Structures are given as C-alpha cells and as structure tokens.
Structure 1
C-alpha cells in the first residue's frame, strides 16, 4: 500500500502546474525526490516560489521529498513571517 504525497498550491501557483486549477495534487511516489525535480514535474519555475513547507515546517529549496510528505508551495506575492526569512527561496 502506497503512502500518497500531497502537494498544495497557493495563490498564483494554483493552476500553474500545466493543467486546470487544482489546489491539491496527490502523487504516489515510489522513492524520495528532490524538491527541484518535483517543481519540474509540476511545471513550476523555482523563481515563482517564495516559501516551501513540508509537513508544516519551512524547508530549503533543495529539500528531499519522501513518500507521504505534505508539501505546500507559496508564491512570491505571499507575505511571509519573519522567522521564515532565512528559508525563502
């Protein structure tokens, strides 16, 4: 039984993933994948993303996504809190 990975797209990123708007995308990953590779699969340019959260925690842009993770992508126009400033992409 696979553990699905959920990707949540916020703001202008919603609908930018090469298809119709879908605030949540579910994938069954067979193995860990680097975040830049995930963005490429989603057809989202890394320069459009300001903040990445995995399992409710801010992570750097080179984070490794494992099956079952919950990934949230926030675009540049989103305001972010000061304690996340060192994890901005």
Structure 2
C-alpha cells in the first residue's frame, strides 16, 4: 500500500510564493506568523481554488493553520479566473 509522506516543516516565504504565485509581502508575513506547514499552505490554496469553496460560506472544514492561511489568501485573492488563477493580485 503506498504511503503519503507529509512534510511537517514550516513553509518558507519562497515556498509559499511557489505554491500561490505572486503575493503581497504583507500577506507573506501574516502567513509566516501562523507558522503553517507546506501542506497547510497547499491545502488552503487548493480549497480557495476549488469550485465548491465559492458556493460555501467562508467557514471551511480545513481547521487549524490551513484555515487561518485560507482566510489570508481569500483576502489577498478575492477573484479567480476560469482557469483557477488569481486575477489582479494586490
């Protein structure tokens, strides 16, 4: 049975940018203050980009640090185009 290796290291600024693309420095600082893992950032960004998110309230079932990252990303990227990429990042 294949196992899924989880990286428990805290995400760095460059890793956050690699996951979400261009993002305001202030948002990076806010995310770093949460001390999320790379997986937390990936889960938050995937949730933000998912179609289901746009039909639900801002309450997510992510929980923990991923939910906190999602809140910051939602403020930073309020609109996505049809390909799931942010429009007009701040």
Q: TM-score range by the shorter chain?
A: under 0.3
> How does the TM-score come out when normalised to structure 2?
0.27
Larger relative contact order (CA 8 Å, sep ≥ 6) = 1
Q: Which has the higher strand share?
A: 1
Bigger CA radius of gyration: 2
